[in-house]
């Protein structure tokens, strides 16, 4: 039974079945207001030339791919405060992102792994997804690979 | 944007630090709305107390943004080519953080000069050693 600090139970077969699951895909345009607020949250000065703050590569790929943080929690079996942690990000920028450009966004779950703590016996699952953004000319603009850890 | 200029960038050079003097929970709320992030540890004190904390936890992307700000302040707003980071400790509202980095190599790639940098974000605590909350590497175009 999961509590506030653990995700829902999931067999190892169910976990591995997630690999290859594709997100619906779609397009995403970053608006000026959104970039302004995002940049303001980081404490940085507003950027010139419609440049998007690089940190947009967290939510823009997720939303553009037709999914959401909530749905990723559901897919991975995360539930409640404390059940999910960030292991890390690998973000590649092939060209700077700009406001007002419609990016095509596609991605999938690429890797999972069950780990058991040798000390506590606690189970946690690595959940890794990758999403790519291409510009209107079909040129790859950015790729993200995000690593989450779901405590069971 | 200020920058040292790539002529001055050598292996071993320290990147000018960038500080977030106070991690503001109001910014976390705005960020949660932008991200459409339902994870209540970022905005609900009642949800965080059962986990043994009395301050809400900053979003990972915001932690990374402080390091990114350091890089953009150094080499310009379009300088970031790659970020590869691990989160080692949670960051809480009210924390004071400093982003730091060091150049580990300089190479010519795709017709531009790029620096690979070790990067980290440290929590500054009075009377205690600095605590690293994020570590990783960045690849930066030397554009300044």
Q: Tens of pLDDT along B3-51?
A: 344 457 999 999 999 999 999 999 999 999 999 888 888 999 998 898 8
On whether any CB of chain B is under 8 Å from the CB of A48, the answer is yes
On whether any CB of chain A is under 8 Å from the CB of B62, the answer is yes
Do residues B99 and B18 lie in contact, with contact meaning Cβ atoms separated by under 8 Å?
Answer: yes
| Highest mean pLDDT (candidates A64-68, A82-86, B1-5) | A64-68
On whether any CB of chain A is under 8 Å from the CB of B47, the answer is yes
Does B68 map to a domain?
A: yes
Q: What is the DSSP string of A13-59?
A: HHHHTTTTPBP--EEEE--HHHHHHHHHHHTPPPPSTTBPPGGGGTH
CATH number of the domain to which B49 belongs: 3.10.129.10
CB neighbours (10 Å) of residue A51? 18
Chosen from B30, B34, B139 to mutate, greatest number of chain A CBs within 10 A: B34
Q: Residue B75: which pLDDT band, with cuts at 50, 70 and 90?
A: very high
Q: Name A27's bridge partners.
A: A104
Rounded Cα–Cα distance for residues A53 and B111 (Å): 24
Domain ranges of chain A: 12-151
In total, how many domains does chain B have? Answer: 1
Do residues A18 and A127 lie in contact, with contact meaning Cβ atoms separated by under 8 Å?
Answer: yes
Do residues B106 and B142 lie in contact, with contact meaning Cβ atoms separated by under 8 Å?
Answer: yes
pLDDT at position A5: 57
ipTM: 0.91
The class of domain A12-151 in CATH terms is: alpha beta
pLDDT at position A6: 66
Q: Name A26's bridge partners.
A: A105
Mean pLDDT of B105-109: 95
Does B26 map to a domain?
A: yes
pLDDT at position A83: 82
Question: Which domain range does residue B13 map to?
Answer: 6-141
Does B1 map to a domain?
A: no
Does B121 map to a domain?
A: yes
> Which residue in A has a C-alpha nearest to residue B66's C-alpha?
A42
């Amino acid at each position: 039974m999961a509590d506030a600090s653990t995700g829902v139970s999931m067999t190892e077969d169910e976990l591995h079945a997630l690999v290859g699951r594709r997100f619906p895909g779609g397009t995403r345009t970053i608006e000026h207001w959104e970039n302004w607020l995002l940049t303001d949250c980081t404490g940085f000065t507003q950027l010139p030339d419609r440049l998007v703050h690089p940190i947009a590569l967290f939510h823009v790929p997720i939303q553009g791919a037709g999914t959401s943080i909530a749905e990723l929690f559901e897919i991975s079996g995360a539930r409640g405060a404390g059940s999910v942690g960030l292991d890390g990000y690998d973000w590649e920028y092939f060209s700077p992102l700009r406001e007002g450009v419609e990016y095509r966004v596609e991605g999938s779950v690429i890797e999972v792994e069950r780990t058991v703590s040798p000390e506590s016996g606690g189970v946690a699952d690595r959940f890794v997804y990758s999403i790519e953004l291409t510009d209107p000319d079909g040129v790859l603009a950015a790729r993200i690979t995000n690593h989450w850890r779901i405590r069971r | 944007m200020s920058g040292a200029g790539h002529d001055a960038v050598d292996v071993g050079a320290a990147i000018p630090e960038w500080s977030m003097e106070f991690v503001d929970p109001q910014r976390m709320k705005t960020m949660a709305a932008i991200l459409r992030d339902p994870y209540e540890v970022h905005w609900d004190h009642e949800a965080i107390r059962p986990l043994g904390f009395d301050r809400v936890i900053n979003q990972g992307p915001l932690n990374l943004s402080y390091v990114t700000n350091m890089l953009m302040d150094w080499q310009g707003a379009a300088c970031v080519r790659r970020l590869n980071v691990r989160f080692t400790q949670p960051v809480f509202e009210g924390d004071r953080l400093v982003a730091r980095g060091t150049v580990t190599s300089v190479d010519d790639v795709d017709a531009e000069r790029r620096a690979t940098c070790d990067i980290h974000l440290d929590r500054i605590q009075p009377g205690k050693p600095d605590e690293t909350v994020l570590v990783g590497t960045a690849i930066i175009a030397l554009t300044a």
